[in-house]
């Protein structure tokens, strides 16, 4: 009977219900099947919530972001970037890459992320910047902009956090070297992460800078192909 929770999880995921809701219901079903009092089940949920506060924060973030999106967060972001005439997709993403990397370098890795920053803000702003320059965008171009927005977040946080001395990977490297008789301070390891972070910013910054040209070419090719299709239909 206590395996009923697994069945709930399988059925819930097959039917594509909300994963968080499925897991909560599965936990309650498992507790009831195990003859636990309902107040004890709630206590267990509360204890797990406190012990995994970072995961809980992430779970709470998603509904908040969804509520903001429903009330026009993406539209407001697009309207804001539309007022900045000098903004381009590449410039918007380079700026975000810089902010993300600097923030991660001082330990603020939570200042960003795909769910809470890229999807509701950065990607719509990058798309709006391209639309201001080129008008309606092909769907493939929109997807490319979203992918580059996600890559700016990934590169920024990945190389930026290696500069932060209290980051887990830095401490892991310190422990590894010590096991092999090499004594290094976390500060020294972090300092050697700076040239790599600078190189990553330059390399990916160039890719983002060239993105504007790629978008222009794709829009031009799309317009040309549509024009030829209309001419063919007219004939």
Same domain, 82 and 197: yes
Residue 142 belongs to some domain of the structure: yes
Same domain, 124 and 217: yes
Q: For residue range 49-85, list pLDDT tens digits in order.
A: 655 554 555 555 556 666 666 666 667 777 777 777 7
Same domain, 130 and 82: yes
Residue 66 belongs to some domain of the structure: no
Nearest to 104 by CA among 153, 60, 148: 153
% pLDDT > 70, the chain: 80
DSSP-assigned letter for residue 116: I
Residue 11 belongs to some domain of the structure: yes
Residue 62 belongs to some domain of the structure: no
pLDDT of residue 94: 96
pLDDT of residue 77: 73
Which secondary-structure segment (H or E) carries 64?
helix 53-70
Give the whole-angstrom CA distance, residue 228 versus residue 220: 12
**Numbers of helices and strands, H then E, in the chain:** 10, 0
Domain that holds residue 208: 73-234
> Residue 146 pLDDT > 90, yes or no?
yes
Average pLDDT in the 117-138 region? 88
Same domain, 39 and 83: no
25-29 long-range contacts (CB < 8 A, ≥24 apart) are: 29/4, 29/5
pLDDT of residue 92: 93
Phi, psi of 217 (to 5 degrees): -65, -45
pLDDT of residue 48: 65
- Among 17-21, 56-60, 190-194, the range with the most confident prediction by mean pLDDT is 190-194
Nearest to 122 by CA among 167, 52, 68, 74: 74
């Amino acid at each position: 009977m206590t395996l009923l929770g697994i069945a709930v999880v399988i059925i819930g995921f097959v039917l594509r219900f909300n994963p968080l809701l499925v897991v909560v219901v599965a936990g309650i079903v498992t507790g009831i099947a195990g003859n636990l009092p309902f107040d004890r089940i709630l206590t267990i949920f509360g204890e797990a919530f406190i012990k995994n506060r970072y995961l809980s924060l992430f779970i709470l973030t998603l509904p908040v972001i969804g509520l903001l999106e429903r009330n026009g967060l993406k539209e407001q972001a697009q309207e804001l970037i539309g007022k900045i005439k000098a903004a381009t997709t590449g410039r918007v993403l380079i700026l975000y890459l810089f902010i993300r990397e600097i923030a991660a370098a001082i330990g603020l890795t939570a200042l960003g992320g795909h769910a809470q920053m890229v999807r509701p803000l950065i990607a719509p702003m990058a798309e709006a910047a391209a639309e201001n320059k080129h008008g309606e965008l092909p769907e493939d171009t929109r997807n490319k902009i979203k992918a580059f927005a996600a890559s700016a977040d990934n590169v920024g946080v990945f190389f930026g956090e290696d500069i932060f001395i209290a980051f887990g990977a830095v401490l892991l490297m310190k422990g590894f070297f010590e096991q092999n008789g090499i004594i290094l301070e976390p500060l020294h390891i972090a300092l050697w992460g700076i040239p790599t972070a600078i190189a990553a910013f330059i390399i990916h910054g160039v890719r983002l800078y060239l993105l504007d040209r790629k978008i222009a070419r794709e829009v031009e090719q799309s317009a040309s192909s549509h024009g030829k299709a209309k001419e063919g239909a007219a004939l």
